[in-house]
Structure 1
Amino acid sequence: MAFQTPLTISEVITNIDSKKYLLPSIQREFVWSTNQITKLFDSLMRDYPINAFLFWKVSKENINEFRFYEFLRDYHQRKKRHNEKANLNGSEDIIAILDGQQRLTSLYIGLKGSYAYKLSYKRWDNDQAYPVRKLYLNLLTASEDPENEYEFEFLTESEAENKEDDLEHHWFPVGKILDLKEQSEVNEYLIENDLSSNQDKAKAKFANRALFKLHSVIHTTAIISYYLEQSKELDKVLNIFIRVNSGGTTLNYSDLLLSFATAQWDKRDAREEINQFVDEINEIGRGFNVNKDFVLKACLVLSDFSDISFKVDNFNKSNMLKIQADWDDITKAIRDAMRLIASFGFSRENITSNNLIIPIAYYLKHIGLPDNFEISSSKINDRAKIKKWFTLSLLKRVFSFMPDGVLKPVRDIIIKNDTGEFPLEQIIQHFKGGNRNLAFTSDEINNLMYSKYGQGNTLVIMSILYPWADLRNNFHIDHIFAKSGFTKRKLEKRGVPSESIGLYLENYNYIGNLQLLESIPNIEKSNMDFDKWIDETIPAGAVDEYKTKHYIPKHMNLGIINFQQFLEEREKIIIDKLQQALL
């Protein structure tokens, strides 16, 4: 391994663009945030070192012995996070990146591509939540962030062209610097955009200095220092990769384990299979949020390995080949388990630990992977037991620490079970009295009344209170007394005593004021007073049935003035139902 003559960034970008530089299959995927990318560019502009890179020269004779991927150019947080497999037919020698992929991808995205991340106030499955953004540099003023000198930002085209703040911002598209190869072209850009003649001399000087510095960083200064490994032995290259990447926090451990799988599977591409599978199952139902860690852990459990801990020794060649051989059954079991959980109404919004899904997948694999388990009429009792175990485990948070302490014993119980159904009672009995106890006490049930609107636990509790609701349909958690009415001014206007207003405002979001309604009735109810909505919407002969169904106290005035009494009475009814279900 020898140190090479450093390269300019423009040379490296050209090599990435022409696919001379590629990523070996043992590399993890791109994980940097926009903030990390802007800090990298700021560091370059300030002449800060960005450490050496490690490249691996692969001769054209040996290219087909390995798998390689292209650099990611246009990153999309939901739709495009995976690198495409490189087509190397007729290729010459290539350079594979062993260390420095995150930095090089960041440079490539900043200079040639885009970055689409989710807006915080929009749903993850909304295409409009991911506007395409490119990297820009403000040529008029320095950054207000004390950690950065230059203001680099990922902006949409419309944000960059916004003229309302022309005095403080001129957003230069960073990728355009690749077109300004000569210093004279930099001068021409400054003149054409009136930056060199800015009446504010300080801003004119800053623009001149910033754009020429960017030109120097990209085109002139040989910044990319690197070592070159030329070995043809995969084992040696893999060991170098592990030594370089596992010594710090630069490599996520699951990525390292996936690297082992990728290198050792001989009939499938582990990286491609696992990434595609993660994307697929995250789209089930209303969406899940599982990752490679979950799939790798599930593989260890479902393959019946005695040791299911996350460590390199468990990802040896024989284990990985067994996982490869069982891959179709493993993925069907996980897929069917997630469809079942989705049919219970659970999704990424209310599952506190994805590890809960693994025992269900193991059970389905253990009983032979029956088709249509989630809808089969012969499996009603079985599904009810699985749902109860899942619900109890969520509420008791038994997977909140050291999940192997649950996964292994539950797997053993499933293996020994001969009841013909999910061994709910045996699991509850096994953990009884310990710190993963699934049995509820009366005090714990009373504490569930403090679950609030918007919390994950709330839908779990609703699934117990509304066992008849098919949560695959569009049900909403609704405030019985509309939350819009809970302001101090509105409550005073309704005649609520001033000494009670604080209690009203503190309690309207708790479970005692929540019910499950289908979306259309919920929309119709909207902000109507509850007593008025019942009178106008529920037929007179069906009012008692509605109140029973929704745990509404009977024979009391349902005006807002009685909210405190309503809350107390309804919580008693709910607690009684939860005791029947959970004690």
Structure 2
Amino acid sequence: MAFERPLTIKEVVTDIHRKKYLLPAIQREFVWSTEQIETLFDSLLRDYPVGAFLFWYVNKENINKYKFYEFLREYHERDNTHNVEANISGEEDIVAILDGQQRLTSLYIGLKGTYAYKLPRKRADNDLAYPERCLYINLLRESEDYDMTYDFKFLTGKEAAVRDENNYWFRVGDILDLKEQYQINDYLFENELNIVEKEKAKYANKTLFRLHNAIHINNCINYYLEKSQELDKVLNIFIRVNSGGTPLSYSDLLLSIATAQWEQRDARKTITSFVDEINNIGDGFDFNKDLVLKTCLVLSDFSDIAFKVDNFDSFTMAKIEKEWEEIAQSIRLSVELVSSFGFNSKTLTANYVIIPIAYYLYKKGNPHNFVESVKNLDDKRNIRKFTVLALLKRIFGGQPDIVLKPIREIIKNNLAGFPLEHLKTDLRVTNKSLRFTEEEIEDLLWTKYGNRYAFSILSLLYPNLDFKNNFHQDHIHPRSLLRSRTKLKKAGLTEEAVEFCINHHDYIANLQLIEGVPNQEKSNKMLEDWLGKTYTDHHELKEYKSRHLIPDIDLSIENFEEFLTEREALIKVKLSKILL
């Protein structure tokens, strides 16, 4: 393979638009951020090399043997992240991109497309949280970022329209219309960029000319053209060229192989849409293709479950395709189950914890109505406890395969019910165990509000909660008071007591799980006052304190240190009964 005649960016973007260039199924999807795209364009204007590309020439006689996808044109973080399958007639040869898809997609989006990402502090289901943005360059000054020279930004039309003595935003895609250099001067005159301050006028002129050269003149797209029609050879080349830089995950490569080998389904479309489905269960999760493909290997009882190309041969893929519906249902049930335990993307600290659950359900034949049925209470109780123990002990950290294989064997040999006790006693992997020591229980008490493990600890203290309702992690003594020196001093606390409150109010001993409505009613009220008004009946008050492990002591804010000490002791006793 030798380099072909290098191309201009204008030529490449035009051919992407005409669908002359497509993406083979072995390509992963677009993952670059706006910052990466901005940096790429900055590199172009600074005459930095942007790397070589690898194209694959596919004869029209062979294009129907493979699946191809179009380039992503209008990226939307929520609604449009998947490439559309290309509609190929077979009447013309095509060129597929083996290496450089991220860069080429970025060039296309920067020049002809849009990029919509979620604004912070906006709800994900709010359409207005994803404004459409185009790439702009400031013609009046350099970037203020230390590693950038040119000020590229993705902006909304409204943001770009704001102009002052330091900002004139030029939509980068408009350079495609300025085909001749004289048109650049016309643009500068028509928009009065020639009469601004002298240095800024010179900068605008230089910047626009450099942008024109980068897109229209410079032959900066250097590429190899592979003409072999053998998929095995092309796949090998693809894996080699993607082993450096920002490498593809094994799941991307394995999904590529699956797409080429599955006969009845489009593996890529099937699995990516399934990932979207399970991520939308309950309050939402953050699963990915890695988890799904790993679960396929585990549930299919293959001896080697590592992410290796050799493990995804035709036999393996045929078996996974044949059993896909059952595998998918097992994963779906597992996610529904952990969601019913109150977990979501923020509190499920190790996604691989659902794989043993899925394996158990798979071996049990995916029992109908498992999540809702009262017949499965013991199983669900043990699965819930396993989930919490596995998360708190972090057994899936590091190399999860060394834990998944023995867990699978234990479950396979003990299918009468979910074998929690066998897992606690028989799981013997170096530094991996579901057993707790007293020291580890003591360490749990140092967990703070906001820590991703806080929910798991609290859920152990509330084994009978129905998490179909919305439960909040609530400060028993109000946080708004305990972190305010002014309020604490006003309440009459000594300087030493104030320091203790400020340093200790977020620990687990001041946290409880409480339903959303009561929590809103409790709000920032003093604990004594809220309990007195909410629980006027003595027995109800006693039951509330027992359920939440509230010590029977003075509950005024002045006595916060004793409250924390006494409640820590109660929590430790309960956790010891559960964990030791």
Q: Shorter-chain-normalised TM-score: which range?
A: over 0.9
Cα separation, 1, equivalents of 2:41 and 2:223: 19
What is the aligned counterpart of 1:277 among 254, 274, 279? 274
**8 Å Cα contact 1:432-1:438 kept in structure 2:** no
1:576: how far off? 1.8
Residue type of the alignment partner of 2:241: V
Q: For residue 542 of structure 2, what is the aligned residue in structure 1?
A: 544
| Structure 2 residue 537 is the aligned partner of structure 1 residue 509 | no
- CA 1:306 to 1:90, structure 2 compared with 1: closer, same or farther past 3 Å? closer
The verdict on how the C-alpha distance between 1:127 and 1:353 changes in structure 2, with shifts beyond 3 A counting, is: farther
Q: Which amino acid aligns with 1:551?
A: L
| Counterpart residue identity of residue 172, structure 1 | F
One-letter amino acid of the structure 1 residue matched with residue 547 of structure 2: K
Q: 2:185 aligns with which of 187, 190, 194?
A: 187
Equivalent position SS for 2:323: helix
Which residue of 431, 436, 450 corresponds with 1:435? 431
* Distance in 2 (alpha carbons) for counterparts of 1:432 and 1:311: 25
CA distance in 1, matches of 2:135, 2:511: 45
Give the superposition deviation at 1:377. Answer: 1.0
Residue segments in structure 1 that go unaligned for 5+ positions in a row: none
Report Cα offsets for 1:456-501 as digits up to 9, x if no partner.
2111112111122222321111111111112111111100111211
Q: Secondary structure at the match of 1:456?
A: coil
Dislocated runs of 4+, deviation >3 Å: 118-131, 247-250
Does residue 236 (structure 1) correspond to residue 233 (structure 2)? The answer is yes
* 1:221-243 deviations in Å (ceiling 9; x for gaps): 22222222222222222222222
1:27 aligns with 2:21: no
CA displacement, residues 277-336 of structure 1 (integer Å, 9 cap, x when unaligned)? 111111111111111111111111011000111111111121111111111111111111
1:391 CA displacement: 0.9
Distance 2:182 2:258 in 1: 51
RMSD of aligned alpha carbons: 1.7
Distance in 2, matches of 1:569 and 1:50, equals 63
TM-score, normalised relative to structure 1: 0.95
> For residues 398 and 368 of structure 1, what CA distance do their matches in structure 2 show?
26
Residues in 1 aligned to 2:123 and 2:455: alpha-carbon distance in whole angstroms: 18
Distance 2:145 2:543 in 1: 60
Structure 1 counterpart of 2:520: 523
Q: Which of the residues 442, 445, 466 maps onto 2:441?
A: 445
Q: Give the equivalent residue in structure 1 for 2:6.
A: 6
Deviates more, 1:101-110 or 1:114-123: 114-123
Shift of 1:127: 4.5
Whole-Å separation in 1 of the counterparts to 2:127 and 2:524? 29
For structure 2, the residue ranges without an aligned partner over 5 or more in a row are: none
- Deviation of the 1:206 alpha carbon: 0.5
Q: Distance in 1 between matches of 2:56 and 2:429?
A: 56
Contact 2:63 2:90 (8 Å CA) reproduced = no
Equivalent positions of 1:31-70 (< 5 A) are 31-70=31-70
Question: Which residues in structure 2 correspond to 1:381-420 (within 5 Å)?
Answer: 381-418=378-415, 420=416
Aligned to 2:478: 482
**Take 2:429 and 2:269, find their aligned partners in 1: how far apart are those partners?**
44
Inter-partner Cα distance in structure 1 for 2:237 and 2:403:
36
Is contact 1:525-1:533 (8 Å) kept? Answer: yes
- Equivalent residues of 1:285, 1:472 under 8 A apart: no
Q: What letter matches 2:248 in structure 1?
A: L
Shift of 1:120: 4.5
Shift of 1:248: 4.8
- Correspondence for 2:464: 468
- In 1, Cα distance between the equivalents of 2:233 and 2:336? 42
1:220 to 217, 222, 227: 217
Comparing 295-304 with 571-580, greater Cα deviation is found at 571-580
Q: CA deviation at 1:442?
A: 2.2
**Larger displacement relative to structure 2 (511-520 or 354-363):** 511-520
Q: Does the 8 Å contact 2:406/2:427 carry over to 1?
A: no
Shift of 1:96: 0.8
1:512-554 Cα offsets, whole Å, 9 max, x none, are 1111111111111111111111122223342112111211122
**What is the match of residue 330 of structure 1?**
327
TM-score when scaled to structure 2? 0.96
CA gap of 1:123–1:453, structure 2 versus 1, over 3 A, is farther
The alignment partner of 1:515 has SS state of: strand
SS of the counterpart of 2:75?
strand
The one-letter code matched in structure 1 to 2:343 is: F
Residue matched to 2:85: 85
The residue aligned with 1:359 is 356
Paired residue type of 1:6: P
- Contact in 1 for aligned 2:61/2:90 (Cα 8 Å): no
**8 Å contact kept, 1:2–1:229:** no
How many Å separate the matches in 2 of 1:434 and 1:252? 26
Q: State the match for 1:169 in structure 2.
A: 167
Q: Distance in 2 between the 1:231 and 1:28 partners?
A: 21
Cα offset, 1:508, TM superposition: 0.6
Q: Distance in 2 between matches of 1:119 and 1:470?
A: 33
| Separation of aligned partners in 1, 2:488 and 2:162 | 43
CA contact (8 A) 1:432 1:439 kept: no
CA drift of 1:376 comes to 0.9
SS in 1 for 2:519: helix
**What amino acid does structure 2 have at the position aligned with 1:131?**
P
